[in-house]
């Protein structure tokens, strides 16, 4: 198996048997945001704390990206496969934007149950699999 | 506001091989000055804006170096509205009696890139590397949710584009001058669901300039000044759903377009029902629909019937984007907001030709909106 490397440190717990996104919670106003940031976007606090976010939620909105994105996207434009993107509403009170494992519009609908997965989206020049977070529909 | 517009000039939006943005800016400025019956020597304050031009004030080596204060600014898709506001503020503050605002740009083809490093917009590089840093995705996702919540159909999106290209066909200075049928729009390639190729505007090239003066001295220069009644600039509050945001809170608040419009109507002492012609940011068809409601011209969901019944057409009750808007003109970011002002001036002065709104429109509205959640609204009247 190839070496796996997260696309960025501190976005999600990794390696982990049950990976979770890492967000911030404000000790003053309780607001939750993603990814981690010290300053609160809702109040003047500068002391937000790192928290693990819930691993499932509902699809608030979605689209499918049908053309190869421009730089700095690291995918291969010649072998481009459209990919889904959505905002997943978590019980933490935040909607997180993510790639979706599903790219068929007929199988995506607002309100459907989604769960977090870690997926490979790119193989870098060193032969490592670069992994990122995504959400997949929960099979009924 | 004690500010009037004396004249405006436009270097047509489109693609101009071999013509630089500065050259377009100079042409637009000379056009506006000649419309106002003034020369560069009469200008006491200038401001210019652009995404691609680092120092737009280098244009004055082609116009006469007169030592005046010349401010440059860039504020995303709201740059044009900010330029007008900056020039108007200089007049209101007593810094100048006569001022000029110039917007210019010349973008590469294709979707706007966010640049080499996402740090320049406060985001981690992972966001771009994984294919999330694209404005079209946001436009699509906001539209998708709005259609779900308020019963807007794909037909409505298609009809907005039909109307835009029809208006473009009537405007001899528009970029896209060919009418496109509803079937052709509905059959064009999907870009980001639910938005197709002909629902989107493209980056383009062009320039616009507007000459302003103290309203109480406008009669010295022209018999047909356009009065600036309100010019309001707002940024997002926490909870407004905006582009290029890895997360957004569940508890949401209205966006900056709502606040800017509300405040502009209050300042001008008129209401949405008084507006005879309006230019709304139509980056794509979905946002023209949503901005109709955000700016106060209808309730959420009413767009379906208004668009179907032709009320947003030039002959309708609420003509929207009479020059073809961004869809038919493209978006040179620095100039786009001033194009709206230019079009409203033409309409209020009865000079819009084949795309003139019938019945002598007297009150106009312009609205720009863009990343990272900025909006500028103006209200203009014919006297």
User: Poorest-confidence range of A3-12, A123-132, B51-60, B78-87?
Assistant: A123-132
Q: Over 90: is that where the pLDDT of B32 sits?
A: yes
pLDDT grade, residue B114 (50/70/90)? confident
Confidence (pLDDT) at B120: 87
Q: Over 90: is that where the pLDDT of B270 sits?
A: yes
Q: Over 70: is that where the pLDDT of A140 sits?
A: no
Closest CA to B13 of B378, B348, B370, B340: B340
CB contact under 8 A, A64 and B128: no
Q: Which range of residues forms the domain containing residue A106?
A: 4-137
Residues of B in contact with A97 (CB under 8 A): 132, 245-248
DSSP H helices in chain A: none
**Beta carbons within 10 angstroms of residue B66's beta carbon:** 13
Kindly report the backbone phi and psi dihedral angles of residue B239, in degrees, each rounded to the nearest multiple of 5, phi listed first. 110, -5
Average pLDDT across chain B, whole number: 96
Residues of A in contact with B145 (CB under 8 A): 60-61, 110
* Paired tokens of B204: 């383009």
Confidence (pLDDT) at B25: 98
Q: What is the mean pLDDT of residues B97-103?
A: 98
Q: In this predicted model, what pLDDT tens digit does every residue of A59-78 receive, in sequence order? A: 999 999 999 998 889 988 88
**Is the ipTM value over 0.85, yes or no?**
yes
CB contact under 8 A, B189 and A66: yes
Closest CA to B105 of B348, B349, B330, B256: B330
| Shortest distance, CA A132 to any CA of chain B (angstroms) | 8
Confidence (pLDDT) at B56: 95
Q: What is the mean pLDDT of residues B100-108?
A: 96
Interface of A with B (CB under 8 A): 7-8, 11, 23, 31-35, 41-42, 60-67, 69-75, 83, 85-87, 89, 93-99, 105, 110, 121-122, 130, 132
Q: Where are the domains of chain B?
A: 3-108+200-381
Are the beta carbons of B206 and B173 closer than 8 angstroms? no
Residues of A in contact with B110 (CB under 8 A): 70
Q: In this predicted model, what pLDDT tens digit does every residue of B321-363 receive, in sequence order? A: 999 999 999 999 999 999 999 999 999 999 999 999 999 999 9
CB contact under 8 A, A99 and B132: yes
Of all residues in chain B, the one with the smallest CA distance to A87 is B247
Looking at the structure of chain A, the number of domains it has is 1
Chain B segment 227-256 residues within 8 A of A by beta carbon are: 238-239, 245-251
Respond yes or no on whether the N-terminal peptide bond of residue B372 is cis (omega within 30° of 0): yes
Q: What is the mean pLDDT of residues B42-64?
A: 96
Would you say the pTM of this structure is higher than 0.90?
Answer: yes
Are the beta carbons of A136 and A102 closer than 8 angstroms? yes
Partner A contacted by B131 (CB < 8 A) = yes
CB contact under 8 A, B142 and A61: yes
The CATH superfamily of B3-108+200-381 is Thiolase/Chalcone synthase (3.40.47.10)
Confidence (pLDDT) at A1: 62
pLDDT grade, residue B149 (50/70/90)? very high
């Amino acid at each position: 198996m190839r070496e796996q490397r997260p696309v960025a440190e501190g976005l999600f717990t990794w390696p982990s048997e049950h990976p979770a996104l890492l967000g911030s919670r404000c000790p003053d106003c309780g607001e939750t945001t993603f990814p981690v940031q010290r300053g609160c976007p809702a109040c003047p606090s500068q002391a937000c704390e790192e928290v693990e976010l819930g691993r499932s939620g509902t699809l608030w909105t979605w689209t499918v990206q049908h053309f190869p994105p421009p730089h700095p996207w690291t995918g291969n434009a010649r072998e481009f496969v459209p990919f889904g993107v959505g905002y997943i509403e978590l019980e933490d009170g935040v909607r997180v934007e993510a790639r979706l494992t599903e790219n068929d519009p007929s199988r995506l609908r607002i309100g459907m149950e989604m769960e977090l997965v870690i997926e490979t989206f790119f193989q870098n020049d060193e032969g490592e699999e670069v992994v990122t977070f995504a959400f997949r529909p929960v099979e009924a | 506001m004690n500010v009037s517009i004396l004249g405006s000039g436009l270097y047509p939006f489109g693609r101009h091989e071999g013509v630089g943005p500065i050259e377009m800016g100079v042409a637009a400025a000379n056009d506006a000055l000649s419309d106002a019956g003034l020369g560069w020597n009469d200008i006491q304050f200038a401001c210019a804006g652009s995404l691609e031009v680092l120092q737009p004030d280098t244009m004055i080596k082609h116009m006469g170096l007169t030592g005046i204060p010349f401010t440059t600014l860039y504020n995303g898709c709201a740059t044009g509205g900010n330029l007008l506001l900056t020039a108007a503020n200089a007049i209101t503050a007593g810094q100048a009696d006569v001022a000029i605002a110039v917007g210019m740009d010349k973008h590469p083809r294709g979707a706007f890139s966010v640049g080499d490093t996402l740090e320049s917009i406060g985001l981690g590089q992972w966001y771009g590397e994984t294919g999330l840093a694209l404005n079209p995705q946001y436009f699509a996702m906001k539209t998708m949710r709005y259609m779900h919540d308020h019963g807007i159909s794909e037909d409505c999106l298609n009809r907005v584009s039909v109307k835009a290209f029809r208006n473009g066909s009537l405007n001899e200075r528009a970029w896209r001058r060919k009418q496109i049928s509803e079937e052709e729009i509905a059959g064009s390639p999907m870009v980001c669901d639910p938005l197709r190729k002909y629902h989107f505007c493209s980056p383009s090239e062009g320039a616009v300039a507007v000459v302003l003066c103290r309203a109480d001295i406008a009669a010295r220069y022209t018999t047909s000044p356009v009065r600036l009644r309100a010019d309001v600039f707002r940024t997002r509050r926490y909870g407004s759903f905006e582009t290029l945001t890895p997360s957004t809170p569940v508890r949401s608040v209205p966006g900056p377009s709502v606040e800017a419009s509300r405040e502009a109507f209050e300042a001008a002492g008129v209401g949405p029902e008084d507006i005879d012609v309006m230019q709304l940011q139509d980056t794509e068809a979905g946002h023209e629909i949503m901005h109709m409601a955000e700016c106060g011209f209808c309730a959420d969901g009413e767009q379906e019937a208004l668009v179907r019944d032709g009320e947003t057409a030039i002959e309708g009750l609420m003509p929207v984007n009479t020059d073809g808007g961004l869809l038919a003109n493209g978006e040179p970011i620095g100039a786009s907001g001033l194009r709206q002002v230019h079009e409203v001036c033409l309409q209020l002065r009865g000079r819009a030709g084949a795309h003139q709104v019938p019945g002598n429109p007297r009150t106009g509205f312009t609205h720009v909106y863009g990343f990272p959640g900025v909006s500028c609204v103006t209200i203009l009247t014919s006297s």
